[in-house]
Structure 1
Amino acid sequence: MENPNTNCLEGMQCPNCGSFGPFGIAADVMCHVYDDGSEPFGDHEWTNESYCECPKCMFSSTVAEFSGEGKKPAGDRTFQLFVEQVAGMHIWDRDDDEGKPIEECEEPEDGYEDSHDALMDLIEGARELMKECSKTEPQESTQVKMQPAGVVPMVDASTVHLTKADKGLLNEMSNGNQVKFPRTVAHEYGWVLFLPGLSDGDDLAAHVDPEYGASAGLTSLIHYAIKQGAYILNIDGSAEVIPGIQCYEE
């Protein structure tokens, strides 16, 4: 539909719900102020950086975004909220890159239960994020065995790709030693790895330090999943073997 706004709201449209207005804009205005009240006079002005709100869906941003300048798709906004939610979580029983302990809160009494609940919240949040992204940026089809559309991209792989040393390494990573290694969480049947995003020419070794001694199988699994665009690698005892990647005896 062609934008009908050609005057005060020229080119403006809510980037969230598509409404053409009216919008609430925080404008600069001069007032005659008296002891018992005030009266505006003269012109009122706003800029591209002025606050703007859609009364239909209550989405708020700047006039620039409502005008299509620097417009962000809904998935980007959801992603930002999701990242803020994750970043706001507390860290405990973990060391920073310099080996200093991080204790932002006391360790939960339920231990595993609380950690499991946190992981489930992250997965559910990520799936909601992918649903929002799929509304504005349809994903290209792929031959890779991934999760259904609308679900966070994830690769499942069998634990037969791991050596005994790999399993010990993943257990160590899940206990807090995360320097230059994907964030790892252990579960009943294996491990979940949250994968880094690699740009063109980026070296996997920057994210998987060779000094940890990961086998060719584990390193190949991580690289394979990243190349498929996956955010999560689930290494599970009941998952299928991925052809072309080294397997080891159980």
Structure 2
Amino acid sequence: MNTNCLQGVMCPQCGYTESFSIMLDCAGVVTDDGLAETTHPTWDNSSRITCEGCEHDGRVGEFRQPAFYVTFETVTEASAETGEHARSGWWEPGGWLLEGADNKPPEPAYLFDPGDVDDDDHEDLDEAIAEWAVALLKREGAMHPNCEPSDDATWWGTEGNEVLDFASGETIRKSFHFHGFSDQLRRRVNARMAKED
């Protein structure tokens, strides 16, 4: 799995993560003799990209590795009386709690790894991703969509009965937010979640 320049980049067609041809933006000093120097090349979600594995092309924003960012809210007996949560923020990879809405971690809590896919077990990459997502959501108890009907759900949440601290009675509710899923793939996961509920 990529952990540097290509972190979170994956071909949506074949699952390749090794190398891509990306149209870069840079400025250069050009003289009559040629290119003298260039600035640091950059790209963003709208940059053109081609997979070196299968030659599928599109925009970088369409080549995002499917993942889930996770937010949390906790409730104590005291906060329940006022109808508010005690703490809220982001669930970081490894289960660390980052309090505050502005503390979004640089990487998602859960990231699909195409290296874990056995091609013989799935009809295509989208099926493998959908199966991974549904298994993760069910394992974590995230059975409640953020809207009804759940076709257009953008996240799934837990019930909120997981106890963090027995002394204070603090419980936690987590919400699993889709990231890097195409609309079609997100709806496919939602349909399976609704069917298996």
What TM-score do you get using the length of structure 2 for normalisation? 0.31
What TM-score do you get using the length of structure 1 for normalisation? 0.25
Higher strand share: 2
Of the two structures, which has the highest relative contact order with CA contacts closer than 8 Å and spacing of 6 or more? 2
Larger CA Rg, structure 1 vs 2: 1
